[in-house]
């Protein structure tokens, strides 16, 4: 039973982190932005904490694009009108 505890704790930490990250973002906005479509929200050398304090997204995975960028609004398909 002792060997199971770290796995259970790991799963709980992961679930808690996911819940916090979804609560931190405003509804209707997402940080899932294609790297080439990012709109700069910070300055050169900004830290992840400074960026998130401005209400922006931070991702340093891709070189050559803004690491601190504005979230994008999620399109709600129920608001769209179909025109033929």
Mean pLDDT (the chain) is 79
What is the SS3 assignment for 16? helix
Task: Check pLDDT > 50 for residue 46.
Answer: yes
The pTM of the full predicted model, rounded to 2 decimals, is: 0.57
User: What's the CA gap between 35 and 51, in Å, rounded?
Assistant: 16
**pLDDT tier for residue 5 given thresholds of 50, 70 and 90:** confident
Q: Higher confidence at residue 25 or residue 48?
A: 48
- pLDDT average, residue stretch 37-65: 95
Q: Which two tokens stand for residue 63?
A: 């070189």
Point out which residues pair with 30 in neighbouring strands. Answer: 72
Point out which residues pair with 69 in neighbouring strands. Answer: 40, 57
Instruction: Look at residue 26 in the predicted model and tell me its pLDDT.
Output: 46
**pLDDT tier for residue 25 given thresholds of 50, 70 and 90:** very low
Report CA torsion sign: 50, 61, 64, 69. negative
User: What's the CA gap between 34 and 43, in Å, rounded?
Assistant: 19
For residue 57, count CB atoms less than 10 angstroms from its CB and return exposed for 0-12, middle for 13-18, buried for 19 or more.
buried
Q: Which domains does the chain have, with CATH numbers?
A: 4-78 (4.10.110.10)
Task: Check pLDDT > 90 for residue 62.
Answer: yes
């Amino acid at each position: 039973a002792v060997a199971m505890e770290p796995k259970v704790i790991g799963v709980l930490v992961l679930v808690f982190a996911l819940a916090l990250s979804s609560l931190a973002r405003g509804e209707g906005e997402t940080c899932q932005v294609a790297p080439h479509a990012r709109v700069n929200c910070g300055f050169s050398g900004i830290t992840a904490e400074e960026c998130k304090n401005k209400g922006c997204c931070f991702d340093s995975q891709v070189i050559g694009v803004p690491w601190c960028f504005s979230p994008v609004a999620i399109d709600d398909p129920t608001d769209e009108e179909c025109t033929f």
